Structure 1
C-alpha cells in the first residue's frame, strides 16, 4: 500500500511528515506521543512545555486513555495530567488530534458511551478525533461492537476508529460487516511493532488486511518499555510480553547498539525509523520523559531518509518472535506459531 506524505510547517519550523491512517483514514503525523506512563513522568510545567513543543514540530497526535479496566485497573491519572498539560500550553482543541481508547474488558457492561463520557471528561474535551477499540481475549460479538462504535460516530464523539489486540480474523470480519451495513469501518490497527516483535504486523493474515482492505498500521511499544532504547531494567510497568521473549530482547541490546552506531544513530532512533519502513505504517507512538529525549527521537526521520532501504536488512537478525507468536493471533495472547 502507498500513502501520500506531506510536510507542513508550524511557527517557522519544519514539521514531521504526515501520512494517511489507512487508505481512507485521517491524515496524521508519523510520530505520536502515547499517554501510558508518559505525562506522570514529569512536572505539570514540563508536560505543558513538551506538549507545546510537540505541536510546534507537527507531532500533534496524542494517544490518551483512561487506564482503569482489566489489567489496567490501576486508576492512573495520566489522562488527567495530559488535559492539564494541554491547558497549560494554551492549546485549543483544534491544535491537536486526540486518539482515545474504548476497552472491551468490561464491555458491554461498561458501554462505549459511558466510557467516552468518563474518558473525555477526564481530559477536558467533548470529543476525540479517532479511537482504538482494544484488548479482548476470547470470543467477540463483532457485529455488536461495530454497531456500537458506529453509534458513537453518528453522535459526533469521533470520526474514525481502529483496533488493538484483535486477531486478523476478527478485524477482517469487522471491516466486512461495517462496509456491508454502511457503517464506518475500522481504518487502522494499533499493533505492537518493534525490532524484535514483527510476527503479527508482518504476517500474512494482517498483510492481507493492509493490502486488500486498505488498513493502516499504527505502531506501539517500539521501545519495549525502554529496553530497546537502552533502559534495560525499566522500573515502571510496561506492556505484555507475548511469546515470553523479553529476556531475549534485553540480551539483544548490545547488537541493537552496534547497528545503531553503525548508522550514526541512537538505538531509539533506529527503533523508530524501522517501524516506519513497514509498507502500511502511518504512525508510531512513543513516550518521552522530556524535551531533550523528544527532540533526539525526531532524529529517526533523518536516519530513515538516509538509510531507509538498508535498515530492514541490517536488523533482520533481531526478529525475536518469529515462529513464537502466531501471525494471525490476538496480540494479547502468547499463541505459538503453527
Structure 2
C-alpha cells in the first residue's frame, strides 16, 4: 500500500507541539547505515513531512554503548541542508545516574554532540528504584523555562509515577509532562490501553508509540542480530510465533505487516506519533504506506488484530517497562 501525500500532523498532548504522525528514531539506526546515505534519507523524510527526529546520547546505564548515532545525525542534517527551524528534535535525559549526573550537564553534552542548543521535546528515560519526583520535575521544568527544551515527556514510566509528577507540577506552577513515550504494538497493549493511562490520556496527556515492531520482529525480522528493547513479561517468543498471523491479516488489507503495526498504533485516540527506525528509502516508503491503510480501514484495524494482544496476561496495566507481570 502506498501513500503519496504529505504526512499529517497531530498535537502531542495538550501541552505539546503539533508533530508528524510518523517520527524517526535513532537507536541503532543512523550508525547502521552507510554515512553517505544518511543525509539523503533525512532530506527525503523532511520533504515528505517526517520532520520529527528522536535522537539520544546512548552512553548511560543499560545504554552505555558509546554510540555515535547522535553525532552522525547532527552531521547528516547539516549535509542535507535542513535548517534547524524545519525539523523537530526530541532528545532524552537519563535517570540512571541522576542526580549525580545533572539534567543540565546531560543536556549540555547531548545537544553539543548534535550541534544545536535546544530540543523541541525531551523525554525522561525509564528508571528502576526510587526517585525524588519533585526534584525531577523541578529540574526539567527549569530547563524548559531556560529555553533548552520546548516541552517534556517520559519514557515507559508507570502511570502512578507519571500522575504524581503531573500533579506536583500543576500544584507548584511548573511545567507538567505533555506526553508519554510508551512501548506499544499489536502485541503489547496492556499499559497504553489500560485504565490507569487511559485516565491520564483523558486529562490531556499525549501518546508517542515506540518499539512498535518489537525490534523488527513484527516487520518480519524474526531473529534480530542487533540489540533490541526490553521484554516485559517475557513474551518475545510468543510474539515471534504470532508473526505469521499478523502477516495474514495485513495481506487481507493489501498491506505489509509493518504498515499494519504502525496504523494500529495511530488508531489509538491519544496517539500523536509513532516512532520507527528507518535505515533506507524503501523502509521509509513502506512505513508511509501505513497512513493509506489508516485512511481506508482505520475503523477495522483494531478489531482485526484483537487476537494478537499477547501481553494481556503478562504485564499489569499500571506497570513500568520492566515491572510486575500479573
- Same fold by TM-score, threshold 0.5 exceeded? yes
SS in structure 1 of the partner of residue 311 of structure 2: coil
SS of equivalent residue, structure 1 residue 135: coil
Report whether the alignment pairs 1:276 with 2:232: no
* 1:104-151 deviation digits (Å, cap 9, x = unpaired): 000001100000011001111111001000111121211100000011
Among residues 41, 59, 63, which one is paired with 1:68 in the alignment?
59
Match of 1:305 in 2: 295
Aligned to 1:217: 207
Q: Deviations over 1:134-188 (max 9, x none)?
A: 1111212111000000110111101100001211011001111111111111010
Q: Mind listing any 5+ residue stretches in structure 2 that lack a counterpart? A: none
- 1:22 corresponds in structure 2 to 13
- Residue equivalent to 2:186: 195
The within-5 A match list for 1:138-287 is 138-211=129-202, 213-287=203-277
Cα deviation for residue 296 of structure 1 reads: 1.2
SS of 1:33 mapped into structure 2: strand
Greater relative contact order (Cα < 8 A, sep 6+): 2
For residues 117 and 44 of structure 1, the distance between their equivalents in structure 2, rounded to whole angstroms, comes to 25
- 2:78 corresponds to 1:87: yes
In structure 1, what is the equivalent of residue 26 of structure 2? 35
CA shift, 1:24, in A, is 2.5
Alpha-carbon deviation of 1:332? 2.8
Per mean C-alpha deviation after superposition, the further-off stretch among 17-26 and 221-230 is: 17-26
User: Residue deviations 1:232-270, cap 9 Å, x none?
Assistant: 111010000000000001110100110000000000000
- What is the match of residue 58 of structure 1? 49
**Alpha-carbon distance in structure 2 between the residues aligned to 1:40 and 1:221:** 18
Report the equivalent of 2:313.
Answer: 323
Match of 1:105 among 86, 96, 99: 96
Structure 1 unmatched runs, 5+: 1-12
- For 1:115 and 1:23, how far apart are their aligned partners in 2? 27
Residue-pair matches, total: 323
Measure how far apart 1:193 and its partner are: 0.2
Which residue of structure 1 lines up, in the alignment, with residue 122 of structure 2? 131
> Retained in 2: the 8 A contact 1:45–1:88?
no
- 1:6 is matched with none
Alpha-carbon distance, 1:330 to partner: 1.1
Contact 1:135 1:332 in 2 (8 A): no
Q: What TM-score, normalized to structure 1?
A: 0.94
Kept in 2: contact 1:136–1:332 (CA 8 A): no
